Amino acid sequence: MKIIKTVNGNTPQIPEDCFIAENAVIVGEVSLGKECSIWYNAVIRGDVHFIKIGDKVNIQDGAVIHATYQKSPTTIGSNVSIGHNAIVHGCTIHDNVLVGMGSIIMDDCVIESNSIIAAGAVVTKNTRVESGSIYAGVPAKKVKDISEELISGEIDRIANNYVKYSGWFKE
């Protein structure tokens, strides 16, 4: 059974067109945009600071979205995919970003638009990922510029597919 819980007077704001898996957890000061999907075992904990998520964001199985108490909120733009088992903590992710499976984005990072964080990457505190780039490794570093083909072929494709997939579970 999904857990959607008020914490310290803050209730998650979830539009009706979003898909929330049966065992997802969303608590506290969390706001979701339109057409979002929160998948199995994903946790979004807005208990210590706010978490704001834009439109058409998918937070895949086992991902954790959190923040740092009274210091670093988490803001995620629109058309963003957060891969399976990723950790997104106290950071800002702009629009049109792919966060790869098992990656970690730490406090006070900024991931600019049209970027990819590779699977397994660790983006350390205060890193700024420049728009149009791919970051990989531990610690994550820029490995190359992103092509228009990757923007449409991966970032847009995955975000659009997750809107489609979530429709299968709403029927």
Which tokens go with 10?
Answer: 């803050």
- Structure letter (DSSP) for residue 68: B
Which tokens go with 29?
Answer: 């000061």
Length of the chain: 171
Q: Is 158 helix (H, G, I), strand (E, B) or coil?
A: helix
- Structure letter (DSSP) for residue 146: P
The answer on pLDDT for 171 being more than 80 is: no
- Res. 155 pLDDT band, cuts 50 70 90: very high
CB burial of 80-98 (b: ≥16 within 10 Å; e: otherwise) equals bbbbbbbbbbbbbbbbbbb
- 4-36 pLDDT, tens digit per residue, is 999 999 999 999 999 999 999 999 999 999 999
pTM: 0.96
Yes or no: say if 91 and 110 are a contact pair by the CB < 8 Å rule: yes
Q: Residue 147: its pLDDT value, please?
A: 86
> Nearest-5° angle of CA 126, CA 130, CA 136?
75
- CA dist 58 → 41, 53, 87, 162 (Å): 13, 10, 13, 6
**157: region left, alpha or beta (phi > 0 left; psi from -120 to 50 alpha):** alpha
Ordered structural domains, the chain, with CATH: 3-170 (2.160.10.10)
Which tokens go with 53?
Answer: 């998520």
